[in-house]
Amino acid sequence: MSETTRRLDPLDPRPLDGRTCVVTGASRGIGRSIAYELARCGGDVAINYRSSAAEARDVKEVIEENDETAMCAQADVSDPDEVERMAAEVHEELGSVDVLVNNAGITIDRRFEEMSHEDWQQVIDVNLGGTFNCTKAFFEDIQSAEEGRLINISSVVGQQGNYGQANYATSKGGLFAFTRTLALELASTGSTANCVAPGFVKTDMLEKVPERVQEKIRARIPLDRFADTQDIVGMIRFLASDDASYMTGQVLGVNGGLEW
Ligand code: NAP
């Protein structure tokens, strides 16, 4: 009974107090908002980025100004050696990791006819390979955490496919199978793995899509608007918290009602 009471305490403003969280690709966009939200809930947050050092420092500063704990954690997630080095830095500064949010992702959009092997490989290496590398580096931590959480950020595009995104859609679809498999392999430890599939979100990634294509996409969204990054973070907060203890292997759409 005491466990249940603790999980459902609606007055607890810091449900992630004492948890260490890693958010990949947290210097900008959705990842930055996730980092703020996990810190707001009391988590100590490692802000991973590849090259936006100044932006990552800004995120750290904002978190620290709010009397929470954060560190910058540089690594190209597609490079296993860099990820291992980053994991050692996170362990040194924040200790064992409870929550890993695999959010870092890129697009290189082209119709299939024009898509080169390199366009394919780069996107697969970051979106899918990066998730593998980071999960590998923190798997033991998540397994041994009391309430370990693996949260993978996919996309509605992984469910629907999308014109000009064979590489991206495949990488995001692969995350569903990866998540379900990891959920099974983690289950005996009580830790969970879930996947969030956002719709189209106002970030630099969406900015790269030509205006006329954006208009076409928007016309298909029942809620008739693109998401703000804040529309996505509530689901991550929930999955990271003890309230989601009995939820694993799921793909959760946050997409304004887009059918797939
Ligand atoms: P974004 O604004 O372009 O930000 C991408 C973030 O990922 C940046 O912090 C970037 O860091 C980091 N990153 C990229 N490549 C990296 C690498 N190799 N290693 C480490 N970090 C790397 O993207 P976003 O729109 O916030 O997207 C975040 C995630 O949500 C992605 O997985 C994306 O596929 C997914 N998503 C986005 C949308 C959307 O409409 N925006 C919809 C559904 C799903 P640097 O600046 O240092 O490179």
Closest C-alpha to 52, from 79, 94, 24, 80: 24
pLDDT in tens, 52-110: 999 999 999 999 999 999 999 999 999 999 999 999 999 999 999 999 999 999 999 99
Whether residue 28 has its Cβ less than 6 Å from ligand 1: yes
Q: Work out the mean pLDDT of the chain and round it to a whole number.
A: 95
The closest-lying atom of ligand 1 relative to the alpha carbon of residue 201 is 40
- Quote the pLDDT of residue 12: 81
- Quote the pLDDT of residue 7: 59
Instruction: List domains and CATH numbers for the chain.
Output: 20-254 (3.40.50.720)
The whole-number mean pLDDT for each consecutive block of 10 residues of the chain, a chain of 260 residues, reads 56 91 98 98 98 98 97 98 98 98 98 98 98 98 97 98 97 98 98 98 95 94 97 98 97 93
Whether residue 49 has its Cβ less than 6 Å from ligand 1: yes
Whole-angstrom distance, CA of residue 27 vs CA of residue 18: 23
Q: For residue 35, give the 3-state DSSP assignment.
A: helix
Task: Report whether 249 contacts 194 (CB < 8 A).
Answer: yes
Task: Report whether 158 contacts 176 (CB < 8 A).
Answer: yes
- Let me know if 163 is a catalytic residue: no
- Quote the pLDDT of residue 259: 81
Q: For residue 20, give the 3-state DSSP assignment.
A: strand
For the chain, helix, strand, coil in percent to 5 are 50, 15, 35
Residue nearest to atom 32 of ligand 1 (CA): 105
Whether residue 218 has its Cβ less than 6 Å from ligand 1: no
The closest-lying atom of ligand 1 relative to the alpha carbon of residue 104 is 7
Closest C-alpha to 227, from 250, 206, 252: 206
